[in-house]
């Protein structure tokens, strides 16, 4: 195990969907890799009165379904440190949690750090934060908030004001798992460590940037959350804006956490507010028939938008963003489309020169280039090459594994700040006002509303060409 300080990790919403799909599998992955502290406890919290042994059985079921099935030896070492505190957790009644935290910290030692992980709906962020203050569980601790951290600039400021009455900024980790992806981090590595890439990473060489995250899945398992949020709040102002910032940022002074955050915040503040005329919102045909969804719901399950970054490096280069549910294909793709070179040696506009990052799993880097076609004539042809990042070396970590490890270490470089989020909501604000586009329907299994095709340049959506 690592030399990190002893840790009590409190997981709020421990039996919920996010915890079972992401957080608990990541925590066990850290254990299996030997990256947890030598002394640790994970305390689940929820409304039910669940015995420790029953919670352990739940975690084993979760790992079997969503994670890595533990060996008998691994489970024997992991399970005893899983505990559950029932009775909920509110300012007026802390349930079993305060006593169990006191007990576990006494067992692990006075130096044990306390980490609060809020795997709860956004509506519970403020009440849980207030409860942490009322039960004196905030001092010297760390706290992790999921996204969306606020649903507008005003609600962000309101939530952040409350959070900062309880925690110092250095204690707060606002998680966006797209920043923890191996392939997202490789955007930095490829750009800053390779001169042949870094020198063309600007408007003089790049014609368009596409960030495309279509999904084939529906929302049946999270209907209540999704109907209150929609694609634009769930994905656009969070994940897709953050990936755009990773592409558009200026080189940081260093890769220290504070310099990485500053570089990301600075470029997000240069995002031009979205023009509603450059945004398409959609809803798949069967959405309103989903259990728990109102018959007249106007929630968007699809969003496509053109974003402009007003810096010298990127001025007049469109960043075209798209995501949606129940689409024809599923992917997580960042593509840089290069300008046609001067002179006759190019593919006559049939296929662009592309450098793309597949953000799923361990990640891939894809290149599409123009070369000479075999044969006697000097004519261009196209070739593509794929570099699988899992072939570079074993040991890639899933985003939540990587980010929870950073929380344990206190490394905030891949976490969002309130300044950066405020800038993102400023750019997003036109979609919350009276000029918000109408939501149009689209067939399940399609690529979404046809109106989104006008947002791209001369090559269209690259994923739709594959």
Distance CA 159, CA 37 (A): 31
Q: What is the pLDDT of residues 120-130, one digit of tens each?
A: 988 899 999 99
Q: Does residue 193 have a known ligand-binding role?
A: no
Q: What is the pLDDT of residues 257-276, one digit of tens each?
A: 888 889 999 999 999 999 99
Distance CA 452, CA 306 (A): 10
Q: Does residue 181 have a known ligand-binding role?
A: yes
Encoding tokens for residue 434? Answer: 């009276």
Categorize the per-residue pLDDT at 154 as very low, low, confident or very high, splitting at 50, 70 and 90.
very high
Q: Does residue 13 have a known ligand-binding role?
A: yes
Distance CA 426, CA 406 (A): 28
Q: What is the pLDDT of residues 275-287, one digit of tens each?
A: 999 999 999 999 9
76 pLDDT more than 70: yes
The pLDDT value given to residue 375: 83
Q: Does residue 325 have a known ligand-binding role?
A: yes
* Fold for the domain defined by 7-146: Rossmann fold (3.40.50)
Delimiting residues of CATH 3.40.50.720 domain(s) in the chain: 7-146
Q: What is the pLDDT of residues 4-30, one digit of tens each?
A: 999 999 999 999 989 999 999 999 999
Distance CA 15, CA 12 (A): 9
Q: Does residue 215 have a known ligand-binding role?
A: yes
Whether the predicted model's global pTM rises above the 0.95 cut: no
Q: Does residue 234 have a known ligand-binding role?
A: yes
Specify whether the CB–CB gap between 100 and 135 falls below 8 A.
no
The pLDDT value given to residue 3: 83
CATH-assigned architecture of domain 178-397+417-465: 2-Layer Sandwich (3.30)
For helices 399-409 and 24-33, what crossing angle results, to 10°?
70
Q: Give the pLDDT mean for 192-214.
A: 95
Categorize the per-residue pLDDT at 178 as very low, low, confident or very high, splitting at 50, 70 and 90.
confident
SS3 435: coil
Q: Does residue 119 have a known ligand-binding role?
A: no
Categorize the per-residue pLDDT at 188 as very low, low, confident or very high, splitting at 50, 70 and 90.
confident
Rg of the chain on CA atoms, in Å:
23
Categorize the per-residue pLDDT at 51 as very low, low, confident or very high, splitting at 50, 70 and 90.
very high
Give the Cβ contact number of residue 316 at 10 Å. Answer: 9
Q: Give the pLDDT mean for 186-212.
A: 93
Q: What is the pLDDT of residues 305-347, one digit of tens each?
A: 999 999 999 999 999 999 999 999 999 999 999 998 776 666 5
pLDDT > 90 in the chain, percent:
71
Categorize the per-residue pLDDT at 424 as very low, low, confident or very high, splitting at 50, 70 and 90.
very high
Residue in 367, 369, 374 with CA at minimum distance from that of residue 347 = 369
Catalytic residue set: 239
| 92-96, 358-362, 381-385, 386-390: which is most confident | 92-96
Residue/partner pairs of 120-126 with CB below 8 Å, 24 or more apart: 120/12, 120/13, 120/16, 120/146, 121/13, 121/225, 122/146, 122/148, 122/149, 122/150, 122/151, 122/229, 123/228, 124/12, 124/13, 125/149, 125/159, 126/159, 126/162
pLDDT > 70 in the chain, percent:
96
């Amino acid at each position: 195990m690592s030399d990190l300080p002893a840790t009590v990790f409190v997981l709020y919403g421990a039996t919920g969907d996010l915890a079972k799909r992401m957080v608990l599998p990541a925590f066990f992955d850290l254990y299996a890799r030997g990256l947890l502290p030598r002394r640790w406890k994970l305390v689940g919290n929820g409304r039910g009165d669940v015995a420790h042994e029953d919670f352990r059985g739940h975690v084993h079921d979760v790992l079997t379904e969503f994670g890595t099935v533990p060996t008998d030896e691994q489970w024997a070492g992991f399970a005893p440190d899983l505990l559950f505190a029932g009775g909920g957790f509110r300012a007026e009644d802390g349930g079993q949690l305060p006593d169990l935290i006191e007990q576990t910290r006494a067992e692990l030692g006075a130096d044990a750090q306390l980490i609060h992980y809020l795997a709860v709906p956004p509506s519970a962020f403020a009440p849980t934060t207030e409860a942490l203050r009322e039960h004196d569980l905030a001092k010297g601790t760390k706290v992790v908030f999921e996204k969306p951290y606020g649903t507008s600039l005003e609600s962000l400021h309101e939530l952040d004001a409350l959070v900062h009455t309880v925690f110092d900024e250095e204690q707060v980790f606002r998680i966006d798992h797209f920043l923890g992806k191996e392939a997202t981090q490789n955007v930095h590595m490829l750009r800053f460590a390779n001169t042949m890439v870094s020198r063309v990473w600007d408007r003089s060489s790049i014609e368009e940037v596409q960030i495309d995250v279509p999904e084939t899945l529906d929302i049946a398992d999270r209907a209540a959350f999704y109907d209150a949020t929609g694609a634009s709040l769930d994905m656009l102002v969070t994940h897709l804006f953050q990936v755009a910032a990773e592409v558009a940022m200026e080189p940081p002074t260093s890769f220290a956490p504070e310099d990485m955050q500053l570089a990301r915040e600075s470029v997000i503040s240069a995002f031009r507010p979205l023009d509603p005329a450059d945004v398409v919102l959609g809803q798949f045909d069967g959405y309103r028939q989903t259990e728990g969804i109102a018959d007249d719901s106007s929630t968007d399950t699809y969003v496509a938008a053109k974003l402009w970054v007003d810096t010298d490096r990127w001025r007049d280069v469109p960043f075209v963003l798209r995501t949606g549910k129940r689409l024809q294909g599923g992917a997580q793709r960042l593509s840089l489309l290069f300008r046609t070179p001067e002179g006759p040696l190019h593919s006559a506009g049939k296929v662009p020169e592309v450098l793309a990052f597949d953000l799923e799993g361990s990640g891939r880097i894809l290149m599409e280039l123009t070369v000479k076609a075999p044969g006697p004539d000097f004519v261009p042809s196209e070739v593509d090459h794929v570099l699988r990042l899992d072939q570079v070396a074993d040991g890639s970590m899933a985003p939540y594994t990587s980010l929870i490890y950073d929380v344990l270490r206190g490394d905030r470089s891949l976490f969002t700040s309130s300044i950066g989020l405020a800038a993102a909501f400023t750019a997003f604000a036109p979609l919350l006002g009276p000029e918000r586009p109408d939501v149009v329907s689209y067939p399940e299994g399609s690529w979404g509303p046809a109106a989104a095709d006008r947002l791209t340049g001369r090559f269209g959506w690259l994923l739709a060409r594959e």
